Structure 1
Amino acid sequence: MNTTKVTPDPTADAVRMWLVERTYSDDEQNMVILTYATPDGERYFRKERALTSFSDVRDTTAAVDAAPSNVGTVDDPDDRERYAAEATRMARAHDPDDVI
């Protein structure tokens, strides 16, 4: 009898999100906020990145796969429309792993 335990893949339910906005934090120096959204603009994922030095190179990709527990809902209709337009444009113009 095989008793091997199968561990579920944590990325199996991941949500594909496309880069829609890159802003610099007003509250903290050297902080970049990357906002990714679904092509329908209804869900978003934010990633904050501290820019510690010029040699600190971390690529920003056109898309990320976010865990559903880290995804929020876009409530503002104007933001939803803007995110949808930009996510759709990015998805058409880039492969998910393209560095932006």
Structure 2
Amino acid sequence: MATDDTVRVWLVERTYSDDEQNVIILTYATTDGERYFRKERALTSFSDVRDTTAAVEASPTDLGDVADDRREQYAAEARRMAAEHDPEDVI
């Protein structure tokens, strides 16, 4: 649950790094599409299983501004995720 110290952001994009093998980039955004939080996850083996949840809580200082050309896309996807999933749902 978001507190005064955190902001709830929703999964809007999952990509693989072009620079490094076995790195997944998870992008979470606010439902207004204005701010995003990026998480990089290195997979060290096939048995390395870590759940990706529909939403996470992030510190406002860890959020970046979404570029204008992605803002509506991120807002739409964050709103869809919020409507269809509980924050702790594994995606």
TM-score interval, normalised by the smaller of the two chains: over 0.9
Match of 2:48 in 1: 56
2:85 to 73, 87, 94: 94
TM-score (norm 2): 0.94
What is the letter of the counterpart of residue 29 of structure 1? Q
> Which of 9, 14, 24 in structure 1 is aligned with 2:6?
14
Q: Distance in 2 between matches of 1:97 and 1:19?
A: 11
Q: Which runs of 5+ in 2 are unaligned?
A: none
Percent of aligned pairs sharing the same letter: 79
- Whether 1:30 and 2:31 are equivalent positions in the alignment is no
Match runs of 1:49-88 below 5 Å: 49-76=41-68, 78-88=69-79
Question: For the residues of structure 2 that align with 1:66 and 1:36, how far apart are their CA atoms?
Answer: 9
Structure 2 CA distance for aligned equivalents of residues 33 and 46 of structure 1? 7
Give the number of aligned pairs: 89
Q: Partner amino acid for 1:91?
A: A
Q: 1:69: how far off?
A: 1.1
Note the C-alpha offset of 1:13. Answer: 1.4
| Structure 2 residue aligned with 1:39 | 31
2 CA distance for matches of 1:63 and 1:71? 14
Which runs of 5 or more structure 1 residues have no equivalent in the other structure? 1-10
Moved over 6 A (4+): none
1:18 is paired with a residue whose SS is strand
> TM-score under structure 1 normalisation?
0.86
The Cα RMSD (Å) is 0.9
The residue identity in structure 2 corresponding to 1:83 is: Y
